Amino acid sequence: MLITVWPPIHTLIMAQMKKGKFKVPTLRNVAKTGPYLHNGLFDTLKEVVDFYNERDISSRWDKSEVSENVNTEELGDLKLSKNEVDAIVAFMKTLTDGHVLPAESASLGLLSAPLSSGKRL
C-alpha cells in the first residue's frame, strides 16, 4: 500500500532551507527603485550601505527576522569610512540610465509606443 504525503516531504524540506531568503534584483536603475531591501525598510541607498557597513556593530539596527540566514562573514562590519560609503552610493547612482520604469511612465502620463506587431511595450 502506497501512502501519499501532501505536500511532498522534499517540498517541506526545501521551504525550510529557503526560509528568510529572497532573490536579489538587478542594480540597473537602483537609484529609482526605493524603498530598499525585502521589507522596504530603507528609503535611501546611503541607509542601505550604512546598514551593511554597521549592522553587526551598531545598536541602531533591529535584529534579523530570520537570524540563521544572516551573512556575518562578508557583511555587517565592513569598516568603511564615510568617504567610502559615499563613493559606493555615488557608484550605484551611475547605474541609472534613461530607462523609464513602468510606475514612473504611468505617473508621467506616458504611453508605451506600439511595436510593428501592433503590441505595446
Element housing 11 (H / E): helix 9-17
Decide if 89 contacts 45 (C-beta within 8 A): yes
pLDDT at 101 over 70: no
Is 79 within the bounds of a domain?
yes
Amino acid of residue 19: K
The pLDDT tens digits for 20-53 are: 776 777 888 999 888 998 888 899 999 999 999 9
Is 1 within the bounds of a domain?
no
Is 29 within the bounds of a domain?
no
Is 10 within the bounds of a domain?
no
Is 54 within the bounds of a domain?
yes
55 beta partners? none
pTM: 0.62
Is 86 within the bounds of a domain?
yes
Is 80 within the bounds of a domain?
yes
> Which residue segment(s) compose the domain that 58 sits in?
40-97
The pLDDT tens digits for 46-95 are: 999 999 999 888 888 787 777 777 888 888 889 999 999 999 999 999 99
pLDDT at 25: 76
Closest CA to 31 of 90, 83, 102, 85: 90
Average of pLDDT values for 106-113? 58
Report how many domains make up the chain.
Answer: 1
Is 111 within the bounds of a domain?
no
